[in-house]
C-alpha cells in the first residue's frame, strides 16, 4: 500500500487536479518538481497516479537518490502486481460489503483509506477528540465540536441537477437552481478524491422515515467523526437485525465539506456547493462543514420523493399526540415558538421538525432533534437542556476550558449554536415516532412584530391554504445583523429553502388531507400585542400555552366568534386563561385608530404583494381568502 507523508497527503489532490500527464512523461526532466513539494513525496504521488513502469524510468534517470529509487521500485512492483492481477500481495485482505460498494460506485480506495462503518458513539468521541481540532467533552458529557467558517446553512449554494427524470416536477427559481449533471460529476469526483486522501472516513447507514412502508435507506460518507455522530443522531438508527438485511442505500451523501469547490467550474459562484442529483440519488457537499446541510439535504430529498413517488405529504413541522390519540401539527419559522409549544408535558412528542402525512397517519422523518441552544436554560426548556448528555453533539458553543460548562448565553462564535440528540433523550417522546391517527388540528404559528394580528384565529380551509403558502413571520431587531426595525418575511409552506415542488402542490395535498379528516386550522400569533415592537408587549408564553390548551380541549371549536376586518379572520370572544381584550388587537392598541389602520393595511398589502408569486397555480378561492383592501 502506498504511504505518503502528512504533507503529501494534503497535496495529493492538488497534484491530481493540476499536474498533466504530459508534464510527467515529457517535461519532468526540464521542469523538475513543482514548487512547494517534497521530492520524495512528489515522486511517490506521481508513481501512484500515473504509469509506474514509465515514471520509475524517468525519475531514475533524473535523480540518483537511492532511497527514492528503492521506494519507487517497491511501489511500481506493487501497482504492477495489481494491474496484472497478481494478487498475492493483497490476497489475505477481505473487504466488507460496504467497502466493496464504495469502491465500485465511487472509487473509494479501500486499500489506503480505513473505512469505519456505523462506529459506536464512544469510538466517534475518541476519534473526534484525537483528530479534530476544537473538539471537547462538555461537563454533561456531550461532544463539543466546531463547524469551521460556516456556522449556518448556505442556501444560495444549494443546487439540483437538471435531468429529465425530475426536471418537470421541480420548482425552478431562486430556491432551486439548476446544475448540469456534468458539473455535478466534476464536484463528485472532487469530493471522492478528497476522501481518498484521508487516513480514515466514516460511513453511517440509517433510515429516513419511521414508517417502514415509506422509509428510505440513507448512507452518509464523511471525513469527520463529528459529522458521523451528528447523522447517527438525526437519522433513524437501524437495529443489528435491520443492518444485516440493509442492502444498498437508496440515497448517498458524500460530505467533503473541508475541501472547497472550484469556483471557476461552470455554475459555481463560491467555494461552497451543496448539490443534489435525483437521477443518481446522491448529494455532494464541498466547502462547508456545517452539519445542518446534511440534515436539510435529507429533508429536501423527502420533500421530493414522498409527494412525487408515493403521494405522501411532507411537512416542515413539529407534531405531538394527546393520550386520546388526537394529533396536532405545528408550522412555524424561527422564533415563533414551534419547538416550545409542541413540547407539551401533557402530550407525546412525535417530532420537532420534519414529518410526513400519509393515508395511514403521520410519521416523523428523523431519529433525533436539532435544537437551538442560544439562551437555553433548565427553567425555560428543561427537556432540551437535560437531553444534552453523552451521545449529543454541541455545535459552536462557548465553554469554560477548566470546568467544561457551556455558556448558552454566549453568542460570540455564532447566534446559531445548536445541539443534536436522539429523540429518545426527550422523556415524553413517542418511540417509534409514528401515529396511526390523523391530525385534528393544524396550528400555523407567526411572530407578528407589528402587533396587528390576533393571538388566535380560526381559519377556513381556503384561509389555511393561503397562510400556509404565505408562511409569514417578522424579523425583529437583534435577530440578524443590520435589522433595526421589524421586517416582514415570508417563507412558503413555512420552509421555502427546502421545497422542491411548487408550494401550491403541497398546499393542495394539505387541503385534501384537511377535508378528508375534518381537521381544523388555526393561526396563532406569538408576537406583539398593544402596539408594534418597541411600543407593545410580546404576548406572554402562558397565554399562548392557554390558547393551545383550549384548542386541544375543544373549547375554541365551540366558542363564539367575531370577524376581524381586512384580514377577514374569525377571532374568539373569549378563551380560558387569556384576557378577553387581548384577543382583538384593535382593542389593546396604544396609539391612535388611524395609526392602527395604517400599520394593519401596510402588513395586509405585503401579504397581497407576496402572494402574487403564487397566484398562477392557486385557485380563485385561495386567492380571495387573503387580506382585502378596499
pLDDT digits (tens, 9 = 90+) for 396-422: 999 999 999 999 999 999 989 999 999
Read off the pLDDT of residues 35-44 as tens digits, 9 standing for 90 and up: 555 555 555 5
The answer to whether residue 549 is catalytic is no
Q: What is the percent of the chain with per-residue pLDDT over 90, rounded to a whole number?
A: 78
pLDDT at site 340: 85
Question: Which candidate in 150, 153, 224, 237 is catalytic?
Answer: 153
Cα distance between residue 568 and residue 343, in whole Å = 31
**pLDDT score recorded for residue 80:** 47
Question: Is the confidence at residue 577, as pLDDT, over 80?
Answer: yes
Looking at the predicted structure, is the pLDDT value of residue 152 above 70? Answer: yes
Q: Please say whether the beta carbons of 95 and 110 come within 8 A.
A: yes
Q: Does residue 286 register a pLDDT over 80?
A: yes
Question: Is 116 annotated as catalytic?
Answer: no
Q: pLDDT band for 475, please (50, 70, 90 cuts).
A: confident
Catalytic residue of the set 198, 316, 347, 606 = 316
Q: Which three cell numbers stand for residue 269?
A: 459562484
Catalytic residue among 190, 219, 418, 440: 418
Query: What's the pLDDT band for 17 if we cut at 50, 70, 90?
Result: very low
The C-alpha cell 419559522 sits at 333
Span 184-208, mean pLDDT? 97
Contacts of residue 292, Cβ cutoff 8 Å, sequence gap at least 6: 152, 153, 370, 418
Residue from 197, 300, 339, 417 carrying the catalytic annotation: 339
Residues 242-260: what's their mean pLDDT? 97
* Over residues 6-23, mean pLDDT: 46
| Residue 259 Rama label (left phi>0; alpha psi -120 to 50; beta) | beta
Cβ atoms of 181 and 161 closer than 8 Å: yes
- H or E segment at 546? helix 541-553
Single out the catalytic residue among 41, 353, 448, 520: 353
Candidate from 101-105, 266-270, 454-458 with smallest mean pLDDT: 266-270
Average pLDDT over residues 171-191: 96
What pLDDT, on a 0 to 100 scale, did the predictor assign at position 62? 43
Alpha carbons 149 and 373: distance in angstroms, whole number: 19
Q: What is the mean pLDDT of residues 192-200?
A: 97
Are 219 and 186 in contact by the 8 Å Cβ rule? The answer is no
Residue 457, H or E segment: strand 456-459
* CA distance linking residue 268 with residue 119, whole number of Å: 34
Show Cβ contacts of residue 610 under 8 Å, excluding neighbours closer than 6 positions: 470, 472, 490
Q: Is 418 a catalytic residue?
A: yes
Cβ atoms 335, 532 nearer than 8 A: no
Q: Taking CA 307 as the corner, what is the angle to CA 304 and CA 310, rounded to the nearest 5 degrees?
A: 115
> What does residue 617 show for φ and ψ, rounded to 5 degrees?
-120, 10
Whether 87 shows a pLDDT value over 50: the answer reads no
Instruction: Provide the pLDDT for residue 30.
Output: 40
Q: What pLDDT, in 10s, does the model give residues 438-473? A: 999 999 999 999 999 999 999 999 999 999 999 999
What is the value of pTM for the model shown? 0.84
Q: Is the predicted pLDDT of residue 77 greater than 70, yes or no?
A: no
Contacts for 605 with CB less than 8 Å, ≥ 6 apart: 627, 629
What is the reported pLDDT for 94?
Answer: 87
193 is catalytic: no
Bridge partners (DSSP) listed for residue 349: 320, 429
One of 296, 303, 430, 502 is an active-site residue; which one? 296
Q: For residues 522 and 571, is the Cβ–Cβ distance under 8 A?
A: no
For this structure, is 338 an active site residue?
yes
Q: What is the mean pLDDT of the chain?
A: 87
Amino acid at each position: 500500500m502506498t504511504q505518503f507523508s502528512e504533507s503529501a497527503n494534503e497535496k495529493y489532490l492538488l497534484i491530481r487536479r493540476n499536474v498533466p500527464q504530459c508534464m510527467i512523461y515529457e517535461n519532468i526532466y526540464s521542469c523538475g518538481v513543482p514548487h512547494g513539494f517534497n521530492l520524495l513525496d512528489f515522486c511517490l504521488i506521481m508513481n501512484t497516479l500515473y504509469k509506474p513502469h514509465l515514471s520509475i524510468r524517468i525519475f531514475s534517470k533524473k535523480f540518483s537518490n537511492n532511497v527514492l529509487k528503492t521506494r519507487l521500485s517497491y511501489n511500481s512492483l506493487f501497482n504492477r502486481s495489481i494491474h496484472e492481477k497478481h494478487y498475492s500481495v493483497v490476497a489475505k485482505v477481505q473487504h466488507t460489503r460496504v467497502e466493496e460498494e464504495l469502491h465500485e460506485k465511487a472509487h473509494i480506495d479501500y486499500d489506503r483509506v480505513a473505512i469505519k462503518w456505523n462506529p459506536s458513539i464512544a469510538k466517534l468521541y475518541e476519534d473526534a477528540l484525537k483528530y479534530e481540532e476544537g473538539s471537547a467533552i462538555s461537563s454533561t458529557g456531550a461532544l463539543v465540536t466546531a463547524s469551521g467558517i460556516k456556522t449556518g446553512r448556505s442556501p444560495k449554494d444549494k443546487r439540483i441537477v437538471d435531468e429529465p427524470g425530475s426536471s418537470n416536477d421541480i420548482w425552478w427559481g431562486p430556491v432551486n437552481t439548476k446544475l448540469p449533471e456534468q458539473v455535478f460529476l466534476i464536484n463528485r469526483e472532487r469530493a471522492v478524491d478528497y476522501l481518498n486522501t484521508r487516513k480514515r472516513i466514516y460511513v453511517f447507514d440509517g433510515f429516513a422515515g419511521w414508517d417502514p412502508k415509506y422509509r428510505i435507506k440513507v448512507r452518509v460518507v464523511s471525513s469527520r467523526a463529528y459529522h458521523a455522530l451528528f447523522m447517527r443522531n438525526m437519522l433513524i438508527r437501524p437495529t443489528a437485525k435491520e443492518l444485516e438485511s440493509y442492502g444498498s442505500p437508496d440515497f448517498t451523501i458524500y460530505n467533503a465539506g473541508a475541501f472547497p469547490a472550484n469556483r471557476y467550474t461552470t455554475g459555481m459562484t463560491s467555494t461552497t456547493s451543496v448539490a443534489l442529483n435525483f437521477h443518481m440519488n446522491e448529494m455532494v457537499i464541498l466547502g462547508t462543514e456545517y452539519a445542518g446541510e446534511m440534515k436539510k439535504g435529507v429533508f429536501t430529498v423527502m420533500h421530493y420523493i414522498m409527494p412525487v413517488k408515493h403521494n405522501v405529504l411532507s411537512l416542515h413541522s413539529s407534531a405531538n399526540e394527546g393520550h386520546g390519540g388526537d394529533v396536532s401539527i405545528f408550522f412555524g419559522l424561527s422564533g415563533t415558538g414551534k419547538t416550545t409549544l409542541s413540547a407539551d408535558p401533557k402530550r407525546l412528542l412525535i417530532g420537532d421538525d420534519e414529518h410526513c402525512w400519509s393515508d395511514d397517519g403521520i410519521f416523523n422523518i428523523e431519529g433525533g432533534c436539532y435544537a437551538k441552544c442560544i439562551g437555553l436554560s433548565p427553567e425555560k426548556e428543561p427537556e432540551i437542556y437535560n437531553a444534552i448528555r453523552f451521545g449529543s453533539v454541541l455545535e459552536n458553543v462557548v465553554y469554560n476550558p477548566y470546568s467544561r460548562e457551556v455558556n448558552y448565553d454566549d453568542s460570540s462564535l455564532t447566534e446559531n449554536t445548536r445541539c443534536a440528540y436522539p429523540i429518545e433523550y426527550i422523556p415524553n417522546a413517542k418511540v417509534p415516532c409514528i401515529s396511526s391517527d390523523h391530525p385534528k388540528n393544524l396550528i400555523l404559528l407567526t411572530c407578528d412584530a407589528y402587533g396587528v394580528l390576533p393571538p388566535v384565529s380560526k381559519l377556513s380551509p381556503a384561509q389555511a391554504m393561503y397562510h400556509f403558502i404565505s408562511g409569514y413571520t417578522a424579523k425583529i431587531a437583534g435577530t440578524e445583523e443590520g435589522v433595526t426595525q421589524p421586517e416582514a418575511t415570508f417563507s412558503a409552506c413555512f420552509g421555502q429553502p427546502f421545497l422542491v415542488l411548487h408550494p401550491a402542490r403541497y398546499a393542495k395535498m394539505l387541503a385534501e388531507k384537511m377535508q378528508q379528516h375534518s381537521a381544523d386550522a388555526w393561526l396563532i400569533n406569538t408576537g406583539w400585542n398593544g402596539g408594534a415592537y418597541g411600543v407593545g408587549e410580546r404576548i406572554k408564553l402562558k397565554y399562548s400555552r392557554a390558547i393551545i390548551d383550549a384548542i386541544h380541549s375543544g373549547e375554541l371549536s365551540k366558542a363564539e366568534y367575531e370577524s376581524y376586518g381586512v384580514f377577514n379572520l374569525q377571532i374568539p370572544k373569549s378563551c380560558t386563561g387569556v384576557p378577553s381584550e387581548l384577543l382583538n388587537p384593535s382593542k389593546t392598541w396604544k396609539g391612535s385608530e388611524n395609526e392602527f389602520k395604517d400599520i394593519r393595511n401596510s402588513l395586509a398589502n405585503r401579504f397581497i404583494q407576496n402572494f402574487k408569486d403564487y397566484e398562477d397555480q392557486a385557485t380563485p378561492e385561495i386567492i380571495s381568502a387573503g387580506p382585502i383592501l378596499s
